[in-house]
Amino acid sequence: MITCPNCSLRKLQAFKTLEPSRLAFIRKIKSAHLSLDAGADIVVPEQDSDEMYTLFSGWAFRYKELADGRRQILNFLLPGDLVGLQASMFNTPQHGIAALTEVQLCVLPRRKVWTVFETMPDLAFDITWLGAREESLIDHNLLAVGRMNARERVAALIIGLYKRSNALGLAKDGVFAFPLNQNHISDALGLSLAHTNKTLAYLRRIGMFTLEGGMMNLTNPRALQRMGQVFDAEFQQRPLI
């Protein structure tokens, strides 16, 4: 059941207090729910979109493409993430967003974004904070793609997704759902498909993880974290204001 009280946004420490008045307001501006199958387009590049979303359940990813088809995945979206903030701030989005799994979205009409800023400054602040948080994730991806070798990149990606899953209560004892295929991984890390496969095989061989049926099992999270140079501090909590 899709209801605001159990929205993952609360797990991100955003929308902390949920007084009746805020709840009522949120309910009023939220125009609908939306369910999409895995693979569906949520935002299409260059195509105007009049909506912004919140990801209630499932995974999605943001990407850009070059004219000849080369694709770069910019970041992955997990429950509680804002979908299409950038798109809603510009006239035409310069990136695409697609569903990685089946997803449920809460729809916020673009015009209403302004209403939020006008009438609910703390909510507006939350939106800005979520935007800054996404940028921080992209920063880390850029560091990985620009300055890490293949092993380090893969390690950083896996650990990063694990930590985010964990913060949402979606991981247990190093085990969590991992819906990416090797194509997604290679496009996220700027590697070729073949080399991604070999790197994954290597990490598996040295006992870093097992992966079957879409479930990732980290068998040596310490070593993986060290290899990926991912620090807890990267995953920040909301500030006090």
Which parts of this chain interact with its own copies (CB under 8 A)? Answer: 46, 62, 64, 66-67, 70-72, 74, 85-86, 89-92, 94-95, 114, 117-118, 121-122, 124-125, 127-129, 131-136, 138-143, 145-148, 187, 189-190, 229, 233-234, 236-237, 239, 241
Quote the least distance from Cβ 108 to DNA, whole Å: 30
Residue 52 and residue 54: Cα distance in Å, rounded? Answer: 7
Residue 125: beta bridge partners?
none
For DNA, give the closer residue by CB, 143 or 194.
194
Quote the least distance from Cβ 175 to its own copies, whole Å: 27
Size of the site for DNA (CB under 7 A): 18
From the number of C-beta atoms within 10 Å of its C-beta (0-12, 13-18, 19+), residue 145 rates as: middle
The 200-229 contact track toward DNA, x by CB under 7 A, reads xx----------------------------
How many helices (H) and strands (E) are present in the chain, helices listed first? Answer: 8, 12
The 170-199 contact track toward DNA, x by CB under 7 A, reads -----------xxx------xxxxxxxxxx
For DNA, give the closer residue by CB, 49 or 196.
196
For DNA, give the closer residue by CB, 87 or 200.
200
For DNA, give the closer residue by CB, 11 or 151.
151
Residue 156 and residue 18: Cα distance in Å, rounded? Answer: 34
For its own copies, give the closer residue by CB, 1 or 241.
241
Phi then psi for residue 8, to 5 deg, are -65, -15
**CA of residue 223 relative to chain centroid, distance:** 24
Angle at CA of residue 235, ends 180 and 87, nearest 5° = 65
Of residues 129 through 168, those in contact with DNA by CB under 7 A are 149-151
DSSP of 143-195, one letter per residue? HHHHH--HHHHHHHHHHHHHHHHHHTT-EETTEEE----HHHHHHHHT--HHH
The residue ranges that bind DNA (CB under 7 A) are: 149-151, 181-183, 190-201
